[in-house]
């Protein structure tokens, strides 16, 4: 969960005293809506994100989180709903050609989570370094792999 993201470094340091080899980091299981809202993951697939990014210009100075955020926000900000719908339809059709349709309303709801995922990934990289000082491997669970950095 995003609320306890900063606790990972403390957990690594406490577990280092227990002579362990690795720590497996996993997602929270959201059994309440409140917890689901605080969960630091989205259900949009990595494939959808990567294909959506491939529609944008290659700009290595901007993170993929920011690219997607601006792509969606710019379309939502178009005052003329016909033009906005045309833009969404165009992107949807391009994604469909890639056999990877995108759900725009859901993507819009997930924008905040994309920003959180960026912080999660940065935090995990920092904690990997802390863990390696103690000869501990910090592992993502199979479903928690970070998105790749833009090329």
Same domain, 38 and 50: no
Same domain, 18 and 60: no
**High-pLDDT (> 70) share of the chain, %:** 86
Same domain, 98 and 68: yes
- CA 147 → CA 52, 73, 79, 104, distances in Å? 13, 21, 32, 20
**Average pLDDT for residues 132-142, to the nearest whole number?**
85
Q: Is residue 114 domain-resident? A: no
Same domain, 82 and 34: no
| Number of independent structural domains in the chain | 2
Estimate the crossing angle of helix 64-76 against helix 81-97, to 10 degrees: 140
- CA 150 → CA 25, 57, 60, 82, 128, distances in Å? 23, 12, 6, 32, 20
Please say if the pLDDT value at position 143 is more than 70.
no
Same domain, 29 and 74: no
Query: How confident is residue 64, by pLDDT bands cut at 50, 70 and 90?
Result: low
Same domain, 60 and 34: no
Q: Which residue has the higher pLDDT, 68 or 125?
A: 125
Q: pLDDT of 3-19, one tens digit each? A: 787 888 899 999 988 98
Residue numbers of the domain that contains 133: 1-43+120-145
Q: pLDDT of 15-45, one tens digit each? A: 988 989 999 888 788 788 888 777 877 777 7
**Average pLDDT for residues 45-69, to the nearest whole number?**
71
Same domain, 3 and 26: yes
Same domain, 49 and 104: yes
Same domain, 49 and 37: no
């Amino acid at each position: 969960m995003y609320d306890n993201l900063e606790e990972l470094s403390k957990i690594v340091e406490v577990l280092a005293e227990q002579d362990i080899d690795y720590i497996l980091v996993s997602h929270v299981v959201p059994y309440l809506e409140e917890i689901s809202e605080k969960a630091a993951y989205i259900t949009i697939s990595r494939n959808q994100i990567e294909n959506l990014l491939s529609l944008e210009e290659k700009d290595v100075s901007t993170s993929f989180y920011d690219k997607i955020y601006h792509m969606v926000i710019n379309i939502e900000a178009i005052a003329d709903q016909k033009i906005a719908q045309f833009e969404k339809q165009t992107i949807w059709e391009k994604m469909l050609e890639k056999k990877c349709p995108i759900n725009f309303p859901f993507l819009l709801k997930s924008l905040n989570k994309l920003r959180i995922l960026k912080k999660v990934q940065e935090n995990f990289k920092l904690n990997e370094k802390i863990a390696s000082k103690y000869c501990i491997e910090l592992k993502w669970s199979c479903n928690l792999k970070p998105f790749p950095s833009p090329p």
